[in-house]
A = this chain, B = another copy of it.
Amino acid sequence: MLSVSAEMDETIKRISSRKGVKGIIIMNHQGQTIRTTMEADEAKLYAHQFSHLVKQTQTTNDLTFLRIRTKKYEVMIAPHEDYVLLVVQNPSETYQEQ
C-alpha cells in the first residue's frame, strides 16, 4: 500500500498532466499547504479561502466532493482522511475536448 506522501505525489502527477489544470494544492485540514504545483503564496491564498468552505460543509455533512465554478476558474475539492486535494482549472480549456 502506498504511503500517504507517495499517494500525494502520484495524485499530483496524474492530475497535473490534464489539460486546463492551473494548479494543484494538497493541504491539511487546517488549510496549511503540504504540497503544491503553484507559487507558495498563491497556494496559500486558495488554501486559506477554501479550507473554511470545506470545514463549514464538513461539520454539517459528510462531504465527499465540492466543485466551485466562478467566471474565471473552477475549483474542485476532494477531502481525504489525512489531507484535502484542491485542483484549480480553467473550465474553458478543460472542457474543450468533450
A46 CB, min distance to chain B CBs, angstroms: 10
Q: Does A30 contact B (CB under 8 A)?
A: no
B66 adjacent to A62 (CB under 8 Å): no
A56 adjacent to B62 (CB under 8 Å): no
Q: CA A84 – CA B67 in complex, angstroms?
A: 17
Copy count, this protein chain: 2
Residues of B within 8 A of A52 (CB): 56
In the complex, which residues 53-68 of chain A have their Cβ closer than 8 Å to any Cβ of chain B? 53, 56-57, 60-68
Take A53-B56, A56-B52, A56-B53 as given contacts and tell me if A61 and B65 are in contact as well, using a CB distance cutoff of 8 Å.
no
Take A52-B56, A53-B57, A56-B53 as given contacts and tell me if A71 and B67 are in contact as well, using a CB distance cutoff of 8 Å.
no
Residues of B within 8 A of A66 (CB): 66-69
A13 CB, min distance to chain B CBs, angstroms: 25
